[in-house]
Structure 1
Amino acid sequence: MSKTVEFIFDVGSPTAYLAWTQLEAMCDRTGAELQLTPVLLGGIFKATGNNPPGAVPAKGMYMMRDLARYAQRYQVSLNMNPHFPVNTLMPMRIVTAAIGTPELNAVVKALYDAMWKSPCKLSETEELTRVLSEAGLDAEHWLSRAADESVKDTLKANTEAAVKRGVFGAPTLFVGNEMFFGQDRLDFVEEALA
């Protein structure tokens, strides 16, 4: 039986984006299966009393330099979103609606690219429509699915369940019951999967 790495994420987190860019290759190397669990990072912060790193100015400035270092190491584009922090309620509902569908990876890629490669204000319906359409996705379908009560309930339940498991930020990854926080812990995740 292959191992599974669970990726608990919100597209509004630049560190979760950086981790996501590495997970497919890691899963290929280890034969692991990737399980995506969308959550609302703001809900996790509220429930745990945690704050984003930028809430401490010196930590926020350091984090900007560190994000650039990791983007260079991973050889990926990372452009800070000028609208940051972006309300990701609708994007994360769209991701939640896509779980279990063949379009899941395309949806996540389109949203991450629009947040961290070609930044835009993903809290705006017009921008979501444009981003999804340009990715070849049926924007009307995904926006409609995101408005479904079952999708809203699932995202809320995912967030609450993550908090109960000890999650306090994103990205958080689980291999079995072992929790790893942060994109800078991927080496430990890969060791756990090997």
Structure 2
Amino acid sequence: MKTKIIGLTGGIGSGKTTIARYFESLGIPVYIADDEAKKILYTPEVVAELVEKFGNNIFTDGIPDRTKIAEIVFKQPEKLAVLNSIIHPKVGEHFKKWITENTGKLFVIKETAILFESGSYKDCDAVILVTAPIEVRVDRVMQRDGVTKDKVLERMANQWDDEKKAALSNYIIDNTDLESAKKQVVKIVKLVNSL
């Protein structure tokens, strides 16, 4: 029996990680790609590539500074593409190892912000999109990251909009209200279990 890979994605502030953690609480293995990307950012191999591609101005005390990197990449899409080309293949390799550790499970969740943008949705057996109204998402990110509305909108501009993502998704969770979203998760788990 092949373990099914269920992609879980959503725009910034949609609450996809909260939804991923809820799947996890139901006993489903969950891979959070962003967590792994953060770890990979500090490996010697990646640090060397970052110096080569971005110079030393993205470092603080010799360590990659995620705030400085975000300042650059969210204003310059071509720089974001360079960063993604360094990080994402390594996350992909790590995910392959993780999948072998979860062989025998009916399905696993792969949570990633740029599932569609990276093309990795093609490797999934199904995709869940987490959505919420733009105003809700902007408020969440402003509170979470302590950034301005303009900064949030700048980041959103680098992601596909929900309409485009929805057209390629098998399931959609409206995460305006968490309790309602949790009920939607339970329903999806039942549906995926019966595939």
TM-score (norm 2): 0.32
Q: Which has the higher strand share?
A: 2
Which of structures 1 and 2 has the larger relative contact order (alpha carbons within 8 angstroms, sep 6+)?
2
Larger Rg: 2
